[in-house]
Amino acid sequence: MTNLILASSSRYKKELLSRLQCDFQCESPLIDESILALETPAAAAERLAAAKATKIAAIYTGSLVIGTDQIADLNGTFINKPETHEQAVKQLQQQSGQTILFHSGLAVVRTRQDGQLECKSTVNSTQVTFRQLSGEIIERYLLLEKPYDCAGSFKAEGLGIGLFTEIKSTDPSSLIGLPLIDLCTFLNQFSYKII
């Protein structure tokens, strides 16, 4: 069977891919993730996902490589991972009562023996509406979950779900960073059978 590689070191994405009960390995692509001038958040997510997968596919010819990237978007403004408590507080204050888009870019890439690149990519966007968040709620949430490595300063798969009034998505796994429905479609198109 074709070797499957996840071009990521994210434990969240590893956990999601593990749901498909397939063997895979992880390789960190280490690419420049700078945003291009005039690039939209959705376009950036798709481009970066493809760049990550392409870099690893160039090394592992014949393997199917999964690249992902997620960008949070508040009215066209990019929201990154907070990394510090202070930045997380600021992000949650900005998102309070707002609707945010989380764009999950996905690419599946294979470099054939003849050197030709095959790539399928898409963006799956999830709309998240936050409830009004008081300073006390924000501090309590951050103390309990410490989501400093997550775009938007929350973990939707955990306690962060309590920060929302609504989520609109075609794929519940997309908000965590790897849209599994789209991934299964692409793997099937590459004749890699999950079921």
Active site residues: 69
CA–CA dist 64, 67 (Å, integer):
10
Q: How many other CB atoms sit within 10 Å of the CB of residue 41? A: 22
Residues 6+ positions from 46 with CB-CB distance below 8 Å: 69, 103, 105, 106, 107, 121, 122, 123
Which of 149, 45, 49, 18 lies closest to 160 in space, CA to CA? 149
